[in-house]
């Protein structure tokens, strides 16, 4: 094992000599006299770290020569990616060496959006922020400070929240897309993302889950895909993809089922109908471990509607077929396969559920797993343990802090407006503009660029004008940073310390350690350090909440927890099996003499994990009122009753635009989705999608990602709109034509691609292009469909309804 590790993590001095030698040979062989010699090879090393091009959390090893990073590869022993890395991860050096990075702290002179920037020192910058915050605090308005966070990985999330806790504001607002967590909350009582043991599934039914493109962990999904296709001994898993656009995932599935946007919930219930009517459900699981399947009576003797009755009453197949556009035979066949090919698992992601009916849709899909007993079994829904980090002491806080913390949030999450939501990012612009419930004085932007990447981007732009002071931590001059008053540029992910726990998809707790692989190129600073610095500058109880010197200190401290917890550092599969078998017998061998030794090894190997998984112990998975999986969500009922605050729940439901009443509202059911634009004026649904090679909206600054093909039919360096060939014919649009895509909110011009994987009444546009800023490679390429999306969201959970806008097309 030692030998292997040495192989991967360190190149011996002999290898360095070898490199020099082979360099010479190569030079002779292929280098031309006029070809510029790159530079003389110097000392070389491979440094382990964690990728952050997406939330997947893959381990990376970076080849560093003479202090310069020259190649990123997958970290061989990281359990997520096992040495593999995707296109986006491979392109990471172009983030590090982007010539348009912000080189140091900057203050804007002149009006909002002016590009007159003045450099200042970090001390000045931190003092400036601290003074501002202290002054607001003195005015007793600490709650008017808000943080918008896009991708706060690991402890950064807790750090930012803790900062506002100590300072005195409830307004830590995350741009979360953890929609399934809410379905799990309603049915299992835990507000977290669950994992899926896909490697052992025989049937994967995915509702718009772009597993291999922009899912939670693309490389893990790729690995599983490859494994399921040709490596797994025995049964080959079947993959069925339900979605309006034939995505890459759909393309490589066994079957693609096109579905009318916003009706996935109806299909899931139609499948449930077949499974129940034919008696194909897992009777033992449903009887023993679920609640609300049959009609039931509560303590007061009142009888309530059960899931079964609802299904049989309201989800006749003809009706489901009409709603979804999926033929009856397909529904029946799919339902039977799903119930029989055990273990089967149903997944939902963005595609299916980012509609106004998203929560109920996810709930319906998640209930399919319970129906076939795929909860906490191999090949089904699993739930990993938390990474056992050292817990933080609670924030003591002063009176001001406590008072501010208890003020209502500006996004109204968890109130009667959005009863099930934790964060309602898309509500922010409206709240700011209407000062609802109060104005915002200071806004921090961490890892988010809503002026480009949020729907209603224009709303954010307008709202930003109303905020007196905006601080951005962005290392890049993106559209939102341009509107900031102060930029405190973070390091890129290859230059900073950070922990990266892997939540979704995995069965096991995994913690990757992101460490600086090269010295920071510019005068940038880890935002964690900056936050601690600001807290310390404010002083008092705010400073006291941060006992650490810097973020590296936080990390080291947190790691003490895992030092004591057992588990193992990233190791070869052979060793993993050993640890697993030992742990299953109750052994926790201490492998390191001291914490320092452990820490050094942790950093060098890139992380820690605990490969043992317990399929027993259902209680861990069901923290509901009944202690069981709840088809009938008592959590939802109690929450609604609580936030209704005395008024009838039916009235609250009406305000929330939920059509269901009484028991039906607590059961998974189909709510028709609302759309912006009338079908007669705007005949097409606009379906936006993320591409596999794009890293959300961030990839546009990386020319390697811009230049490669956009599979299956897109245009490099550009955006496009995918139209069904028959529909295009009707409009006289040919492949490659320039077309106008117009919604009630505006229009944009882009090129048409005729794609048989587009439904006749749905057009698809990729997100990520159309930047107005963000560096030379990104600026002015293609169009940003977010520009013409309307502002709609799920009523209960506040999910952004990305797909709620209708459009019309015309030849430009």
Partner 1 sequence: MARWGMVIDLDKCDGCQACVVACRVENNVPVVGPEQTEMGRAISWIEVLSVIEGEYPHVKIRFIPRPCMHCDRPPCTAVCPTGATYKNDEGLVAQIYPRCIGCRYCTNACPYTVKFFNWFKPEWPPQVHGFNPDVAIRPVGVVEKCTFCHHRLQKAKEQAKIEKRELREEDYVPACVQTCPTKAMYFGDLDDPESTVSRLSRSTRAFRLLEELGTEPKVYYLSEGEWYGGHKG
Site membership for partner 1, residue 10 (CB under 8 A): no
CB of 546 to partner 1, least distance (A): 36
User: Min. distance of Cβ 537 from partner 1 in angstroms?
Assistant: 34
Q: Determine, following the binding rule CB under 8 A, whether residue 447 of this chain makes contact with partner 1.
A: no
587 binds partner 1 (CB under 8 A): no
- Of these, 134, 164, 214, 219, which contacts partner 1 (CB under 8 A)? 219
Asked whether 429 and 443 are in contact (CB, 8 A), the reply is: no
Question: From the list 113, 573, 648, 756, which residue makes contact with partner 1 (rule: CB under 8 A)?
Answer: 756
Tell the smallest beta-carbon distance from residue 193 to partner 1 (Å).
21
- Binding to partner 1 by residue 223, rule CB under 8 A? yes
Nearer to partner 1, 65 or 424 (CB): 65
Q: Which is nearer to partner 1, 397 or 512 (CB)?
A: 512
**Calculated CA dihedral for residues 308, 313, 318, 320, nearest 10 degrees:** -60
DSSP state of 759: -
Stretches 269-277, 392-400, 402-410, 714-722: which one binds partner 1 (CB under 8 A)? 714-722
Q: 701 exposed, middle or buried (CB, 10 Å; 0-12, 13-18, 19+)? A: buried
> Is residue 88 within the footprint of partner 1 (CB under 8 A)?
yes
Candidate residues 48, 51, 55, 73; the one interacting with partner 1 per rule CB under 8 A: 73
> What span, in angstroms and rounded, lies between the C-alpha atoms of 634 and 614?
27
- Residue 246 as a binder of partner 1 (CB under 8 A): the answer is yes
| Residue 758 binds partner 1, judged by CB under 8 A | yes
Task: Examine residue 43 and tell whether it contacts partner 1 (CB under 8 A).
Answer: no
Question: Which of the stretches 10-18, 574-582, 644-652, 681-689 binds partner 1 when contact is defined by CB under 8 A?
Answer: 10-18
Q: Decide: is 778 part of the binding site for partner 1 (CB under 8 A).
A: no
Q: Rule CB under 8 A: say whether 558 interacts with partner 1.
A: no
How far is it, in rounded angstroms, from Cα 305 to Cα 325? Answer: 28
Question: Judged by CB under 8 A, which stretch of 16-24, 156-164, 593-601, 646-654 contacts partner 1?
Answer: 16-24
Closer of 719 and 743 to partner 1 (Cβ): 719
Query: Angle of helix 527-538 relative to helix 155-167, nearest 10 degrees?
Result: 20
Place of tokens 């109908």: 273
- CA neighbor of 142 nearest in space, from 165, 174, 126: 165
Is position 751 an interface residue for partner 1 (rule: CB under 8 A)? no
Alpha carbon distance 108, 444 (integer Å)? 15
Using the rule CB under 8 A, which residue among 111, 116, 230, 732 binds partner 1?
230
Long-range (24+ apart) CB contacts under 8 A made by 546-549 are 546/162, 546/163, 546/166, 547/393
Note whether 19 binds partner 1 by CB under 8 A.
Answer: yes
Residue that the structure tokens 């660029």 belong to: 449
Stretch that binds partner 1, among 187-195, 307-315, 475-483, 719-727 (CB under 8 A): 719-727
Written as six digits, the tokens of 169 are 């504001």
**CB crowding 156-172: b at 16 or more within 10 Å, else e:** bbebbbbbbbbbbbbbb
Q: Is 363 in the site for partner 1 (CB under 8 A)?
A: no
Task: Transcribe 399-465 into DSSP letters.
Answer: HHHHHHHTSPPTT-BTSSSBTT-S--GGGHHHHHHHTSSS---EEEEES--HHHHSTTHHHHHHHHH
- Please report, as residue ranges, which positions from 684 to 703 form the binding site for partner 1 (by CB under 8 A): 692-693, 702-703
At its nearest, how many Å lie between partner 1 and the CB of residue 362? 25
By CB under 8 A, tell whether 1 contacts partner 1: no
Q: Radius of gyration over alpha carbons of the chain, in Å?
A: 27
- Residue 23 within binding range of partner 1, rule CB under 8 A: yes
Of 52, 492, 724, 750, the one binding partner 1 by CB under 8 A: 724
480 vs 771: CA distance, rounded Å: 11
Give 248 or 317: the residue with its C-beta nearer to partner 1.
Answer: 248
DSSP string, 521-584: SSS---HHHHHHHHHHHH-HHHHHT---SSHHHHHHHHHHHHHHH--EES--HHHHHHHHHHHH
Q: Which stretch binds partner 1 (CB under 8 A): 223-231, 274-282, 368-376, 546-554?
A: 223-231
Cα 75 to Cα 499: distance, rounded to the nearest angstrom: 16
Instruction: Kindly state whether residue 60 participates in binding partner 1, applying the rule CB under 8 A.
Output: no
Residues 254-313 that bind partner 1 (CB under 8 A): 256, 258
- Nearest by Cα to 706 from 716, 691, 695, 714: 716
Q: Which residue of 278, 386, 597, 707 would you call a contact of partner 1, by CB under 8 A? A: 707
């Amino acid at each position: 094992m030692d030998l292997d590790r040495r192989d991967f993590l360190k190149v011996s001095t002999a290898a360095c000599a070898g490199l020099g030698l082979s360099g010479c040979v190569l030079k002779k062989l292929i280098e031309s006299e006029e070809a510029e010699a790159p530079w003389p090879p110097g000392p070389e090393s491979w440094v382990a770290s964690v990728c952050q091009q997406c939330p997947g959390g893959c381990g990376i090893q970076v080849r560093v020569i003479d202090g310069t990073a020259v190649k990123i590869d997958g970290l061989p022993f990281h359990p997520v990616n096992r040495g593999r890395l995707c296109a986006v991860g491979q392109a990471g050096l172009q983030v590090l060496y982007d010539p348009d990075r912000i080189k140091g702290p900057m203050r804007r002179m002149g009006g909002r959006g002016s590009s007159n920037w003045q450099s200042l020192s970090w001390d000045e910058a931190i003092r400036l922020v601290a003074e501002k915050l202290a002054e607001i605090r003195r005015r007793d308005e600490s709650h008017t400070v808000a943080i918008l966070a896009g991708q706060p990985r690991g402890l950064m999330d807790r750090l930012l929240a803790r900062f506002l806790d100590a300072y005195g504001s409830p307004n830590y607002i995350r741009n979360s897309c953890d929609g399934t967590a809410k379905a799990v909350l309603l049915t299992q009582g835990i507000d977290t993302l669950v994992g899926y043991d896909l490697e052992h599934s025989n049937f994967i039914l995915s509702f718009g889950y772009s597993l291999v493109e922009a899912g939670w962990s693309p490389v893990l999904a790729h690995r599983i895909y490859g494994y399921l296709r040709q490596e797994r001994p025995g049964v080959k898993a079947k993959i069925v993809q339900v979605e309006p656009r034939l995505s890459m995932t759909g393309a490589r599935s066994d079957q693609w089922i096109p579905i009318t946007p916003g009706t996935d919930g109806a299909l899931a219930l139609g499948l449930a109908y077949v499974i129940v009517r034919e008696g194909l459900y897992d009777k033992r699981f449903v009887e023993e471990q679920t609640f609300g399947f049959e009609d039931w009576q509560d303590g007061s003797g009142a009888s309530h509607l059960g899931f079964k009755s609802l299904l049989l009453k309201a989800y006749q197949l003809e009706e489901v077929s009409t709603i979804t556009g999926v033929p009856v035979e397909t529904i029946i066949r799919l339902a039977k396969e799903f119930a029989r090919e055990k273990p089967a698992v149903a997944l939902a992601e963005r595609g299916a559920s980012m509609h106004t009916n998203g929560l109920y849709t996810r709930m319906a899909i998640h209930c399919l797993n319970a129906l076939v007993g795929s909860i906490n079994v191999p090949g089904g829904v699993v739930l990993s343990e938390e990474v056992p980090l050292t817990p933080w002491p609670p924030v003591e806080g002063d009176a001001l802090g406590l008072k501010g913390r208890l003020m209502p949030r500006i996004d109204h999450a968890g109130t009667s407006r959005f009863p099930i939501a934790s964060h309602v990012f898309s509500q922010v612009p409206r709240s700011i503009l209407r000062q609802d419930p109060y104005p915002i004085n200071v806004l921090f932007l961490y890892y988010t660029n809503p002026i480009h990447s949020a729907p209603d981007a224009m709303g954010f732009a307008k709202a930003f004008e109303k905020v007196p002071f905006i601080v951005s931590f962005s290392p890049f001059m993106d559209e939102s940073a341009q509107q900031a008053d102060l930029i405190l540029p973070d390091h890129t992910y290859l230059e900073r310390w950070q922990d990266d726990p892997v939540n979704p998809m995995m069965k096991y707790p995994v913690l990757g350690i992101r460490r600086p692989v090269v010295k920071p190129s510019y005068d940038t600073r880890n935002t964690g350090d900056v936050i601690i610095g600001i807290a310390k500058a404010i002083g008092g109880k705010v400073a006291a909440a941060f006992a650490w010197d810097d973020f590296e200190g936080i990390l080291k401290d947190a790691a003490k927890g895992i030092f004591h917890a057992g588990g193992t550092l990233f190791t070869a599969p052979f060793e993993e099996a050993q640890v697993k078998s030992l742990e299953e017998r109750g052994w926790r061998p201490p492998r390191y003499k001291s914490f320092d030794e452990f820490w050094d090894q942790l950093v060098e190997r890139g992380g820690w994990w605990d490969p043992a998984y317990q399929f027993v112990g259902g209680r861990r998975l069901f923290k509901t009122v009944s202690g069981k999986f709840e088809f009938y969500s008592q959590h939802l009922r109690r929450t609604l009753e609580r936030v209704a605050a005395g008024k009838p729940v039916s009235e609250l439901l009406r305000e929330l635009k939920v059509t269901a009443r009484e028991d039906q509202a607590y059961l998974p059911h189909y709510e028709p989705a609302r759309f912006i634009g009338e079908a007669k004026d705007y005949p097409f649904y606009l379906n936006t999608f993320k591409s596999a090679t794009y890293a959300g909206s961030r990839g546009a600054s990386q020319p390697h990602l811009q230049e490669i093909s956009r599979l299956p039919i897109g245009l490099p360096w550009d955006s496009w709109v995918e139209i069904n060939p028959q529909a295009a014919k009707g409009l006289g649009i040919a492949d490659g034509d320039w077309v106008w895509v117009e919604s009630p909110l505006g229009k944009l011009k882009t090129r048409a691609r005729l794609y048989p994987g587009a439904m006749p009444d749905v057009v698809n546009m990729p997100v990520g292009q159309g930047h107005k800023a963000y560096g030379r490679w990104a600026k002015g390429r293609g169009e940003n469909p977010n520009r013409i999306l309307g502002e709609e969201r799920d009523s209960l959970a506040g999910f952004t309804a990305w797909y709620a806008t209708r459009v019309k097309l015309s030849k430009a």
